[in-house]
Amino acid sequence: MNANSERLLDRIRTRKAKVGVIGLGYVGLPLAVEFARRGFDVSGFDVDETKTSQINAGNSYIPDVPQADLNDVVKAGRLRGTSRMADLAGMDVIDICVPTPLRKTKDPDLSYIVKAVEAVVEALKPGQLVILESTTYPGTTDEVVQPMLESRGLKGDVDFFLAFSPERVDPGNQTYTTRNIPKIVGGMGAASTEAAALLYSAIVEKVIKVSSTRVAEMVKLLENTFRAVNIGMANELALMCHKMDIDVWEVIDAAKTKPFGFMPFYPGPGLGGHCIPIDPYYLSWKARQNGFECRFIELAGHVNSAMPEYVVERVADALNTVRKSINGSRVHLLGVAYKRDVNDMRESPALDVIESLDKRGAKISYTDPYVPLLRHGAHTLSSIDLEAVIVERPDCVVICTDHAVFNYDGLVASGVLIVDTRNALKDRRSATIFRL
């Protein structure tokens, strides 16, 4: 253990380490608040000055971060937001939590990571710990980040320390939060792993060390690819059961009574969120670079990506029962966020449903208390109160996101045609309800 390592570990143990978090979204802000709550001095970095201003005013814009928690640490002077990347020079720890989207070609887009690391390079000094949390393909940390950080002569795991620790955030989950989700840590060397593990052990209940950054990167991709593949199977089963006139939801509910060897996954209008629709493509892209074809994984992606169009076909089926076509019909979406009880629109399948309905000439409206305004393509829509929708009786309502606040009883009682993609109306039976 050298002097740089000893000093860093001591500052972490005594909570004197200054922590910088780059990217203040669904991952970065909860992490920054948790570090601040545990006594660290934290700076949140983001190029979006709207976010940094909100933080400095003590206003939380992330549902998973309670207003009181954010306000407390800001008032105590332990958390501040800034867009001044030069301030990274004063940090002992720099945690990168920026987006990793896909290009139109379905290839990884590391531009946000590269820009963040470029800012770190300008400020890098001996003794700093740099951690990447952004989901990415195996090899990113040692093939992209490490060479950039070493470009000015400092040596990793000796002068500075570098690790990967995948974010495992589940927006809207009140049971599993930053504090009690086990943290995976893999460093570029033993000193880096030890420093990162010590840091996270101050804010999470359990830290699991793995042998390398590549293993840590692959862990996250396995977790989300596992979900994507199994959801793909559930979606394909839904298509099959529809052809056979079998209730797929009843089948899954019965199957999950088996106490071993089965884990329930459910069909839906498509995959949403930043991770599950994207991570399998990161994995298959990297596999192709190594001469391996992920046929099974890519097939699941094809099935999942086709679900929004299938939802529109079900809308057509519903309208046909009353001798109407999609063209000219008033179609109302119930919920446009990608999952229940959150305001996150990233990769929401509702956007693809809207686009397909629009191309077919539907007159589109929506209700979502978590998303008051929706901009999609050339359209800007405002959320409409559900009770007003019931009174106006659109031609068809599509339940894309099953928010708990919706008045499902009133919707069913209105007699309007309903396409339920989430089994929100599980215990209700009506000739006007059409399921996947």
Q: Which residues are catalytic?
A: 275
Looking at residue 103, its amino acid is R
Burial 388-410 (b: 16+ CB within 10 A, else e): ebbeeebbbbbbbbbbeebebee
Angle at 30 between CA 28 and CA 35, to 5 degrees: 90
What is the rounded CA–CA span in Å between residue 320 and residue 168?
A: 43
What is the rounded CA–CA span in Å between residue 386 and residue 392?
A: 10
What is the rounded CA–CA span in Å between residue 344 and residue 262?
A: 30
* The two three-digit tokens of residue 429, written as one number: 């039976």
What is the rounded CA–CA span in Å between residue 165 and residue 265?
A: 27
Pair 248, 242: CB distance under 8 Å: yes
Burial 147-157 (b: 16+ CB within 10 A, else e): eebbeeebebb
Q: Please return the burial class of 71, using the count of CB atoms within 10 Å of its CB with bins 0-12, 13-18 and 19+.
A: middle
Q: Count Cβ atoms below 10 Å from residue 67 Cβ, excluding itself.
A: 11
- Looking up tokens 């992606």, which residue turns up? 301
Q: Count Cβ atoms below 10 Å from residue 190 Cβ, excluding itself.
A: 13
Beta-bridge partner residues of 102: 108
Phi, psi of 434 (to 5 degrees): -120, 125
| Cα first-last separation, the chain | 59
Sign of CA dihedral 80, 85, 90, 94: positive
